[in-house]
Structure 1
Amino acid sequence: MIKRKGEKVIGIISIVLNIIGVGFGALLLSIDPSFYDQINEVLQEEGETLPIETLEAGMSAFGIQFMVVSAIAAVLTLVGVIFLKTDQRAVISGILFLVSAITLLIGTVGLAFVPMILLIVIGLMSLIKKPKTDIHTSEYPS
């Protein structure tokens, strides 16, 4: 049995970062409407303008998307960490970590790059690390 303490620790760190991502998505949902006025003023200086309703709708949609994707990644990572208990399920765990990383890459448009990188690392570690075999065989007793 391989000790997979490193994968578990990095997985827990990734879960915490994904929960922080859920909080960031909630923060995007709670932006004050006066902030959209300020954005619109900056856009008017550039020569372009957007309706405030469009800005609000875009930010709230992205906030909801960020929350949902971070929550899905946190759940997949949690299941992957639980599956690390046995060596037979390490491959499943590695696949779950990589799927979670791809979900974060696509769903958050790369903004959650720290947990994504951590998930790629532990996904590859779970897939590559194999149990050590005994060098003693039945032909040559020790």
Structure 2
Amino acid sequence: MIKRKGEKIMGIISIVLNVIGVGFGALMLSVDPAFYEEMNEILQEEGSALPVETLEASVHAFGVQFMVVSAIAAVLALVGVIVLKTDRRAVLSGILFLVSAVTLLIGTVGLAFVPMILLLIVGLMSLIRKPKTDIHTSEYPS
């Protein structure tokens, strides 16, 4: 039986970071309308102006997407940490961690880089680390 303390700790850290990502998405939803006007003025100086409504709608849509994807990744990682209790289920747990990492990569366009890398490492560790087999078994008495 392998002690999978490292996988559990890194999984919990990634869950916490994903919950922070949900909070970041909620913060994007609560941005003041004056911010969009200032951002539009900066864009006008650079020569690429957008209507304020379009800018507000795109930031709002990305905030919702960031929240949903981070929540899905957090739930998958939580299930992966819970399933990681036995060595037989380490493969299932590794697959859940890898699916969560790919979900973060695609859904947040790479902005959730740290939890994505943690989940990728944990998923690979769960799949690669195997329990030590005993050379002396009951089939071959010594």
Quickly name the TM-score band, shorter chain normalised: over 0.9
Q: Which runs of 5+ in 1 are unaligned?
A: none
Using the size of structure 2 for normalisation, the TM-score is 0.97
Please list the CA deviations of residues 56-75 of structure 1 after superposition, one character each: whole Å capped at 9, or x if unmatched.
10000000000000000000
- The number of residue pairs the alignment matches comes to 141
Residues of 2 paired with 1:75 and 1:44: CA distance? 41
Q: In 2, Cα distance between the equivalents of 1:94 and 1:37?
A: 45
Task: Give the TM-score, by structure 1 length.
Answer: 0.97
Gaps (5+ residues) in structure 2? none
Aligned Cα RMSD in Å? 0.8
The equivalent residue for 2:46 is 46
Letter in 1 for 2:49: T
Q: Distance in 1 between matches of 2:48 and 2:109?
A: 24
Percent of pairs identical after alignment? Answer: 79
Alpha-carbon displacement from aligned partner over 1:3-27 (angstroms, at most 9, x marks no partner): 1000000000000000000000000
Once residues 45 and 140 of structure 2 are traced to their aligned partners in structure 1, the CA distance between those partners, rounded to angstroms, is: 82
Match of 1:136 in 2: 136
For residues 23-63 of structure 1, what are the alpha-carbon distances to aligned partners after superposition, in whole Å with 9 as ceiling and x for unaligned?
00000000000000111111111122110000110000000
Question: Corresponding residue for 2:71?
Answer: 71
Aligned equivalents of 1:63, 1:89: Cα separation in 2: 34
